[in-house]
Structure 1
């Protein structure tokens, strides 16, 4: 019954549980919140919809795992060694099955800095080749940035590269699950992947999809390509359930509204600004009020507008 109730909540796509103002929802753990079962066998510990801080221990993304019946598959290494250990403790409270595989959804710190813990357990760590390249190039600076905010909570964390990489897809048949790690194309950051469970019609989207917090546009985020990847590869999955990179599980309509539609909206605003002869200084302040209710709006809206302007100026 609880799964039917929660499934209904997913389809409603409520934002009621997300807030930047809640410092920690699980004080007994470094995890920001306790993992719960989204659908049978699939669990997620939902991170803060806020920037990484000491208070949330860098758990500002979703750390998910699948109990297959023949072993556990973890999605995201976590932002620190101790955070990965805290997730493993929760996994052990749910099942006696060993962790057999870890996926890094991209090359960002909250996906990869806990890899060292999983490597110590002898667990293979899989990522897209581009994500592994990001860790190889920038791992030191990513670690230093985490150490600055996480201080003593960064103890034990070292840069650990993925142990296996792939280019297009990495498919695992384990227990009751067919688990398809797919690189659908350019999106939020280099090496973004989704984890698609076709039998369950559930996608762990990673940073392909956002809905409760505003998506960040990085210097290397190509928004036109992200939209194309969405329309040609992500939307056709027609997933019934979406566990996004940040924020609570929801449905495709919600993430479409706050990811693809936001990208289209912002590009249209910048296009109109360029057509009117506007420059970068004014571009930061194009109207984004329809999305002002999203967490991290204040931190990201102007940056996003400036980066889209810089892209579109030369398209």
Structure 2
């Protein structure tokens, strides 16, 4: 464990889209690892969702508190949620008492149906719940398209409880703070903060091994402000991002905040020079080309940021 903690502080090895399934005996892409004592995470593929990774391309985490288990992210399907539950049972006989959805995307919420069938409460930010309500039918259609038989059993189930800014959970003598630090990657981005252990399960506010996707409607200026004014002051020692291996604050800052600042600076210079949308796609992002999903996201991100900044 001490070796793993030192690796986290030094920064992890990079994941790759070319790495095959790490856990072929399970629908999970990788077996959960104990990041720090009592906090586990099944690290998803950094590639886009495919049949091979069964849509497990985000991190599915759980915290063993002493009086029950808290799960962060239900998974992209019933089968992924069920597989994660099997791994939890292999670690502890404590029941799962709460599931937290870190945002409204399908890979965070489409497994809710499994957990609801177990009678487990499901918590999400109110904006994430609304986002899921809008997009869940399309998310389920997409899941069935790429996952095929691995999507069987999946049904749409909304969160059973929502919060606005902050929800404190006391369980087994442990305080878990469920936070919405502010606008970031997507509506209702949620961070799970365990102050006693200096552990942040950060969700999609933080990236480092794959390029951050920027959605239409994402306010990158707001994302940076949320980062600087709300995330940095917490100063977590350990960070489990939404995608990619557990790491530290400096690493995710380099590949999230610093990437956003760099792209905004280049798009701003392009606009100042009279550049148009077509030219924005070609701004130089080569320093980030080693990140997984660069080919899928770099030019799209540039176009979205151009649209955001054109009339700022």
Normalised by the size of structure 1, how large is the TM-score? 0.98
The 5-angstrom pairing of residues 102-181 of structure 1 reads: 102-181=99-178
Match of 1:12 in 2: 10
Quick one: distance in 2 between partners of 1:169 and 1:148? 36
Quick one: distance in 1 between partners of 2:235 and 2:24? 37
Describe the SS at the equivalent of 2:97.
strand
Match of 1:290 in 2: 287
The 5-angstrom pairing of residues 1-315 of structure 1 reads: 3-16=1-14, 18-315=15-312
Displacement after TM superposition at 1:23 (Å): 2.7
| Deviation by residue 1:177-223 (Cα, 9 ceiling, x = unmatched) | 21100001100000101000000001000001000000000002110
Quick one: distance in 2 between partners of 1:116 and 1:23? 28
Is the Cα–Cα contact under 8 Å of residues 12 and 246 in structure 2 kept in the other structure?
no
Displacement after TM superposition at 1:280 (Å): 0.5
Describe the SS at the equivalent of 2:206.
coil
Quick one: distance in 2 between partners of 1:170 and 1:116? 22
Quick one: distance in 2 between partners of 1:306 and 1:314? 14
Normalised by the size of structure 2, how large is the TM-score? 0.99
Quick one: distance in 2 between partners of 1:240 and 1:108? 27
Describe the SS at the equivalent of 2:144.
helix
5+ residue gaps, structure 2: none
| Deviation by residue 1:158-185 (Cα, 9 ceiling, x = unmatched) | 1100000000111111114211000011
Is the Cα–Cα contact under 8 Å of residues 54 and 150 in structure 2 kept in the other structure?
yes
Quick one: distance in 2 between partners of 1:220 and 1:79? 23
Displacement after TM superposition at 1:119 (Å): 0.1
Tell me whether 70-79 or 176-185 shows the greater mean CA deviation: 176-185
Quick one: distance in 2 between partners of 1:97 and 1:236? 33
Quick one: distance in 2 between partners of 1:115 and 1:179? 21
Q: Report the RMSD for the aligned CA atoms in angstroms.
A: 0.7
Quick one: distance in 2 between partners of 1:10 and 1:176? 26
| Deviation by residue 1:254-278 (Cα, 9 ceiling, x = unmatched) | 0000000000000000001001111
Moved beyond 6 Å, runs of 4+: none
Quick one: distance in 2 between partners of 1:60 and 1:135? 18
Is the Cα–Cα contact under 8 Å of residues 73 and 109 in structure 2 kept in the other structure?
yes
Residue correspondences, number: 312
